Amino acid sequence: MAIYGYARTADDIADEGDATASQRLADLAAYGDELRSVAAGAAPAARWRAVFLPLARTIQTHALPLGLLEDLLSAFAQDVVKTRYADRDELLDYCRRSAHPVGRLLLHLYGVDDARSLARSDAICSALQLINFWQDLSIDLPRGRLYIPLDQCRAQGVDEAGLFGQQDSPATRALVRAQCDWARGLMQTGAPLVHRVPGRAGWELRGVVQGGLNILDKIERCGHATLAWRPRLGKADILPIAWRALRMRP
């Protein structure tokens, strides 16, 4: 919960409200200064005390890697100023800082640190970030953000104007389908991690993996038309996700 509170607040600084870009970057810089201050043993300042008081205890108790917490801030700051990605490598570098740290921090809490598990965690976290992008196209495009790599757009013959105009077409659907197939492959690569994480966390991870795959299934069933429609999970999805989670085998 301390890690979530830290990440959620930083993400809100970058995305929510009507602050200017320069103010968001200044606030994120101050947030990073506060992180390093409490990690060094200082008492939290009043502004974000509710965030950094529990986080400071968690850093001290569990020796959290400070670099992972700083990577999250780097990604959030990038979101303020960068709205296009040239190719998948560039987008994955964003995922390396926006998504991978969350998985690696949780593995750290459970003492899981072998290279294969970390790589699988990275694959799951990248997949979840990408699935969220393809799920949220109808939200991100009106905000001026395009996370589909530009080389992928060119390969499908889709221009930026058509995407930002949210013009549904066979070409845009093929574009979304290709990105969903990429995300599904990453999720399947990382899925064996659920058998490595112990106890309740392993079962929760099963639900996370199957929840992500369920969103991809919904996107597929709507014909990959997420330029105009945002699929979401509901109560009716709980039992299918639970059933699929139970059936996951090594």
143 and 92 in a common domain: yes
Does some domain include residue 118? yes
Tell me the chain's radius of gyration from C-alpha atoms.
19
Does some domain include residue 154? yes
Tell me the C-alpha distance between 206 and 192, whole Å.
Answer: 9
Three-class SS state of 164? helix
Tell me the residue ranges of DSSP E strands in the chain: none
220 and 115 in a common domain: yes
The domain tally of the chain equals 2
166 and 60 in a common domain: no
Nearest to 85 by CA among 98, 71, 72: 98
153 and 39 in a common domain: no
Nearest to 97 by CA among 14, 22, 214, 219: 14
Does some domain include residue 73? no
Q: Domain end: 15, 31, 64, which one? A: 64
Does some domain include residue 149? yes
Q: Domain residues for 39?
A: 1-64
Ordered per-residue pLDDT tens for the chain, 250 residues: 999 999 999 999 998 888 999 999 999 999 999 999 999 999 999 999 999 999 999 999 999 999 999 999 999 999 999 999 999 999 999 999 999 999 999 999 999 999 999 999 999 999 999 999 999 999 999 999 999 999 999 999 999 999 999 999 999 999 999 999 999 999 999 999 999 999 999 999 999 999 999 999 999 999 999 999 999 999 999 999 999 999 999 8
Tell me the C-alpha distance between 97 and 10, whole Å.
Answer: 13
101 and 168 in a common domain: yes
164 and 46 in a common domain: no
Does some domain include residue 192? yes
Does some domain include residue 242? yes
Q: Domain end: 31, 64, 97, which one? A: 64
Q: Note the Cα 135 to chain centre separation in Å.
A: 12
Which pLDDT score is estimated for 250?
Answer: 85
CATH code of the domain covering residue 146: 1.10.600.10
109 and 58 in a common domain: no
200 and 173 in a common domain: yes
Say what the pTM is.
0.94
Tell me the C-alpha distance between 124 and 102, whole Å.
Answer: 11
133 and 105 in a common domain: yes
92 and 55 in a common domain: no
DSSP tag of 67 = H
